[in-house]
Amino acid sequence: MSYKKLRNIVLTLHRYIGLGVGLIAIMVGLTGSLLVFQHEIISVQRHQRIGAIAHKGEPLPIETIINTVKSAYANQPDAFLQRLYLPAKPDEPFNVVYATKENDWIENYVHPYTGVILGNNLQTNGIEHFFKIAYELHFTLLAGDIGLKITGIVGLLGCILCITGIILWPGWRKLIAGFKIKWNARPMRVNFDIHKVAGIIAAVFLVLTFFTGFCWNFGEFTYPLIYATTFSSEQAADPVSKPIPGLAPLKLVKQLKTAQAVLPDALLRSIDFPAKPENALRFRFKLPQEEAEYGNSNVYLDQYSGEVLRFNNALKSSLGDRVLNSFTPLHYGTFLGLTSRILYVFVGLTPLILFITGFVMWRDRYRTKSTTGFIKRSVLK
C-alpha cells in the first residue's frame, strides 16, 4: 500500500470520526472544563454559607460527630449513613454523607470543635446542583448506564481521532510550519492552521482524558486487560463481613484503632459505612508520599469481629493498581498541580474549536467536489 493511499485512509477515518462524535465530544469537553475547579468553587460558596471555622484545640471524636448527625435523622427511618469525610485542614468541617428516599447524597457539614451542624449541600443557591448536573452530563449525558456506555465509546473513538490527527499533522514535514498560524492568509488557510495548531497542542492531553474515561466506563473489560498486560494480580471483589446472630457491629472507636494500626503512618481521610449487614467497613488513608487528595490506601474490616479482611498500601501496589491509580490525576489534570489544571480548562475547549474548524474544512471540500462535479457534467452535456 502506497503512502498516499494510507494517508487518505487515515484522513477519511479522522474526518468522519470527528463528524460523528464531535457534538458529544464538545459536550464532554465543555463540562470537563467546568468541573476542573468545581471543588474550589463549591468550597468558597460553602465557606460563605457556613462561615469561618476557628481552630480551637482538638477536633471532637468521630463518633461524637456521627451521633450528632444521626440524631438529626432520627425521625427518618429510611435514612442511612453512607460516608464520612474528615477535614483536611483545621478550618474545614466534617462532611457526613447521608442518603434518603428523596436524595441519595446529602452532605452534612459539622463544626469539628463544637459538633454543631452548620448546614448541608441542599441548602445552596444552586451552585452545587449545577455542578452535579454538569458531572452527570460529563460522564453519562444524563442518560444513566446507556449514556455511560455512549461516552465510553466516544472516549475510544476520541483516542483514535487524536492519534490520526497526530499522524496527519503537517509539522512532521516541517516542524516550525506545524505550529504556525498565518493570520494574514485567506480564511480557509487560517481555519486550517487553527485546527492543526490547536489539535497538536491538545492531542496528548485529549488522549489521556479520552482513554481514561473509556477505561472507567468499560471497566468490566478494561481493568482485567490492564492487569493482564502488566502481569499483575487482579484484586478480588470487596471483602464481606460475617454477621453474627444477636450481635451488633463493633463500636467505631475500636474499629478506628484497628484500622489505624494497620497503616500507622497514614492519615485517615474517609470512612465508608456498610449499607448491608454483610458489607465490610472501609477506611481510606493517605500516606505522606501519596499525591491523591484522599489517598489510595484502604483497610477493610469485618464490622462484627473487627478482623482485618484486606488492606492495601498504595506505595506497594502492583503495577496494574498503580496504572489504575494514575487515571485520576491524568483525567482531572492534577498531575502538575495548578499548572496542569489551568491547562485542562483550555484542553476541554479544544473539541469545540476542532469540530468547528474541521466542519468548515469538510464543508469547503464538499462544496468544491460538488462544484467540480457540476462543471464536469455540464461539459459532458
Q: 216 and 346: one domain?
A: yes
Phi, psi of 81 (to 5 degrees): -75, 130
Nearest to 140 by CA among 213, 205, 37: 213
Q: 259 and 218: one domain?
A: no
What pLDDT, on a 0 to 100 scale, did the predictor assign at position 165? Answer: 97
- Tell whether 107 is covered by a domain: no
Nearest to 155 by CA among 316, 338, 32: 32
How far is CA 335 from each of CA 90, 331, 357, rounded to the nearest angstrom?
25, 9, 30
Based on the structure, what is the number of domains in the chain?
2
- Tell whether 291 is covered by a domain: yes
Nearest to 199 by CA among 340, 341, 354: 354
Q: 219 and 246: one domain?
A: no
| C-alpha–C-alpha distance, residues 272 and 261, integer Å | 18
pTM of the predicted model over 0.85 = yes
- Tell whether 322 is covered by a domain: no
Q: Hey, how many other C-beta atoms are within 10 angstroms of the C-beta on 98?
A: 21
Nearest to 204 by CA among 165, 168, 238: 165
| C-alpha–C-alpha distance, residues 279 and 103, integer Å | 22
Residues 6+ apart with CB under 8 A from 132: none
For residue 281, the surrounding DSSP H or E stretch is strand 281-286
Q: 161 and 215: one domain?
A: yes
Residues in a beta bridge with 99: 80
How far is CA 1 from each of CA 5, 143, 148, 165, rounded to the nearest angstrom?
7, 43, 38, 20
How far is CA 375 from each of CA 190, 234, 368, 369, rounded to the nearest angstrom?
28, 63, 11, 10
Q: 280 and 224: one domain?
A: no
CATH number at residue 271: 3.10.450
What pLDDT, on a 0 to 100 scale, did the predictor assign at position 2? Answer: 82
What pLDDT, on a 0 to 100 scale, did the predictor assign at position 371? Answer: 58
What pLDDT, on a 0 to 100 scale, did the predictor assign at position 369? Answer: 65
Amino acid at the residue 284 = R
Residues in a beta bridge with 108: 96, 120
> Which of 317, 349, 365 is the endpoint of a domain?
317
The C-alpha cell at 320 is: 496494574
What pLDDT, on a 0 to 100 scale, did the predictor assign at position 242? Answer: 94
Instruction: Please report, in tens digits, the pLDDT of each residue of the chain (381 residues total).
Output: 788 899 999 999 999 999 999 999 999 999 999 999 998 998 888 888 888 888 888 999 999 999 999 999 999 989 999 999 999 889 899 999 999 988 889 999 999 999 999 998 887 667 888 998 999 999 999 999 999 999 999 999 999 999 999 999 999 999 999 999 999 999 999 999 999 999 999 999 999 999 999 999 999 999 999 999 999 998 878 899 999 888 899 999 999 999 999 999 999 999 999 999 999 999 999 999 998 888 999 999 999 999 999 999 999 999 999 999 999 999 999 999 999 999 999 999 999 999 999 999 999 887 776 555 544 444 444
The C-alpha cell at 45 is: 460558596
In contact, 351 and 35? CB cutoff 8 Å: no
Q: 238 and 213: one domain?
A: no
The C-alpha cell at 293 is: 487528595
pLDDT tens by residue, 332-350: 999 999 999 999 999 999 9
Number of helices and strands (H, E) in the chain?
A: 12, 8
Q: 8 and 30: one domain?
A: yes
- Tell whether 57 is covered by a domain: no
Residues 6+ apart with CB under 8 A from 144: none
In contact, 158 and 206? CB cutoff 8 Å: yes
Q: How many residues does the chain have?
A: 381
Domain that holds residue 241: 234-317
- Tell whether 99 is covered by a domain: no
| C-alpha–C-alpha distance, residues 78 and 178, integer Å | 61
What pLDDT, on a 0 to 100 scale, did the predictor assign at position 379? Answer: 41
- Tell whether 21 is covered by a domain: yes
